[in-house]
Amino acid sequence: MKCHVIDALEIIGGQCSALYPEKPIYDIPAHPKILASELIEMLEAQAAPFHPVYHLNQRVEKFVKNADGSFLVTTSKGTQIECRAMIIAAGCGAFGPNRPPLSGLEEFEGKSIFYAVRNKAEFAGKNVVIAGGGDSAVDWALSLSEICKKVYVIHRRDKFRCAPESADQMKKLADAGKIELVIPYQLDGLEGSNGKLSSVIVKDFDGNSKKLEADYLLPFFGLAMELGPIANWGLNLDKHHIEVDVATMKTSEEGIYAIGDIAHYKNKLKLILSGFAEAATACHSAYKIVFPNQAYNFEYSTSKGVL
């Protein structure tokens, strides 16, 4: 089968590339520890012999089903692809970060304010303010405390919603003066010019303000999930997810499959590992639709080779 891959992001790799490229993943089979960005590089290399065609920086907006059962898919850039089967691996949909409601925010975004860390080295020797109380905020506070001049963690509660071991480790680093916990406070303002931040203003619930000297602000307030156009495709939806038959990964529409985080069935685990297995199941099911008149012979890669 030939394959076209369309993604709204300008890079491949979904959440791994966009949200946590420099975080190690510990539960990919045969990789005791692998950076998310490395996993994506290796997946790209593994897919390369099959010549997938990537159409990046464009969102799938709509599709029509032709009389012969094939589909015509149209993207936001006007790219049109005709195919016999579609596999939707849209994660949480077109996702974006929850942005703090601060005036002048846009001026600093992408320059001094980031919602994901793409290059940890950029923060070496700098003053970094991290806002949020979940795993991303705490994990990055631990990681960046190794290289930054100063790391502040702003959170509006004194309890963190993260792995308890990480919270304990952060407390130890705070006691040792490597991290400054600013709690219970929330973001209140930004100072700086031409996209370069000089300080972040925070306020407690009694209205007392503090000014923190800052080169960078990293707000980790989670993701805004927006299914986008997929919600209007007439598929069987359960909130932000597409209901599938786990035996085939088929949606309610013949020829359309869903895999990964967006696919829902009983006892679904939202893990990369599950996504891999679901992709294999979907491809095996799709083969019969793409080549209806060809018998399908299951073969191991060890027997068949790559091409």
Ligand X SMILES: Cc1cc2nc3c(=O)[nH]c(=O)nc-3n(C[C@H](O)[C@H](O)[C@H](O)COP(=O)(O)OP(=O)(O)OC[C@H]3O[C@@H](n4cnc5c(N)ncnc54)[C@H](O)[C@@H]3O)c2cc1C
Q: How far apart are the C-alpha atoms of 252 and 244, rounded to whole Å? A: 7
Q: By CB under 6 A, which span of 15-23, 77-85, 98-106, 185-193 interacts with ligand X?
A: 15-23
The structure tokens listed for 181 are 């916990």
Exposure string (b/e) for 92-107, b if CB count within 10 Å is 16 or more? bbbbebeebebeeeeb
Least Cβ distance, residue 142 to ligand X (angstroms):
14
8 lines the binding site for ligand X (CB under 6 A): yes
Q: Is 37 in the site for ligand X (CB under 6 A)?
A: no
DSSP state of 267: T
Smaller CB separation from ligand X, 5 or 48: 5
Minimum distance of ligand X from residue 228's CB (angstroms)? 5
- Sole residue written with tokens 């959170």: 155
Find the part of the chain contacting ligand X (CB under 6 A) among 16-24, 161-169, 185-193, 282-290. 16-24
Q: At what angle do helices 164-175 and 135-144 cross, to 10 degrees?
A: 40
Choice from 1, 5, 10, 27 touching ligand X (CB under 6 A): 27
CB of 82 to ligand X, least distance (A): 17
Among 37, 39, 40, 60, binds ligand X (CB under 6 A): 60
- Strand 80-83: give its sheet, edge to edge: 60-65, 71-75, 80-83
Minimum CB distance to ligand X, residue 9 (Å): 4
Q: Binder to ligand X among 39, 86, 87, 94 (CB under 6 A)?
A: 94
Q: Which is nearer to ligand X, 73 or 182 (CB)?
A: 73
Binding residue for ligand X (CB under 6 A) from 174, 183, 271, 290?
Answer: 271
What are the residues binding ligand X (CB under 6 A)?
6-9, 14-16, 19-20, 25, 27, 59-60, 89-94, 136, 228-230, 260-262, 270-273, 275
